[in-house]
Amino acid sequence: MAIHKIKFFTGRASRYLAEKIVAAYGTTLGECEVVEFSDGEFQPHFIESIRGCTVFIIQSTFPKSDNLMELLMMIDAAKRASAYKVVAVIPYFGWARQDRKDRPRVPITSALVANMLTVAGADRVMTLDLHADQIQGFFDVPVDALYASGIFVPYIKKLGIEDLSIASPDMGGAKRASTYAKLLETPIIISHKERAKANVVGSMTAIGDVEGRNILIVDDMIDTAGTICMAANMLMERGAKSVRAAITHPLLSGKAYERINESALQEVIVTDTIPLNPEKDLHKFTVLSCADIIAECIERVHNYQSISPLFYKS
């Protein structure tokens, strides 16, 4: 068993989730405050001693960028306060779509964020459904990259959907869709899209048998919802019985909520890595918590146990 005392803290944006994680772990959050200055600067402060402790800091880095900055500052503060180890628990790892140089003179921002986390003092990173698995290679510290399949697959099985097929909203998600299709023992459909520009889809078609199938679209994130709504409408036009979606990270920017509610999507299943907007119409949404799987991962890592059992197997 581990000999170092464990303490949990959270940034402001992820307190709702951090409270669930520590409750699943069987403890409470440590005391921390953020002092805000009139010019917009802020300063995190650990109210209690963390000397010699293994400190887990829980914060998703969804917009705005203050959430990332707050996480970096908390890591730095913990190292300067003589924490034994600092683990950044990042349920949603933002900036992950910028994982390659896909045109001239652009940054590889996910690598930059990885470097900033390491320089700040993170000894380890935990996250859920990275946009691309190879992002782990940007880090020089261990990365525990969990998969939401361990959350979604049991729920889908309980629904008992007949004539089920798994679909990817684009070619880039084919590997993820293939994994779900294998776990659920279903056929796979690949949607092929052509983008007019960033966040705007020009046209779309489907590869695979659609007619008479109940289709589940799987993806790691949903931003403007343009792609997934176009895919759902296209699949229904091609003869699908129903279309659902299982999306790990609900960014839902712009008119995403309205697009979903006006689309052919019957249900949108998401995790709580990012909070939904309570002021929007959420009747199509089902939220499954990632707190249990993250809490178990924390326990296993802290006690030097394998996390392999957390990866869902059919």
Catalytic residues: 193
Residue 102, helix vs strand vs coil: coil
User: What's the token pair of residue 175?
Assistant: 């590997």
| Helix (H) or strand (E) segment spanning residue 42 | strand 42-46
- Number of Cβ atoms within 10 Å of the Cβ of 17: 25
Element (H, E) at 247: strand 242-250
DSSP 123-169: SEEEEES-SSGGGGGG-SS-EEEE-THHHHHHHHHHHT-SSEEEEES
Residue 257: CA atoms inside 13 Å, Cβ hemisphere, count? Answer: 10
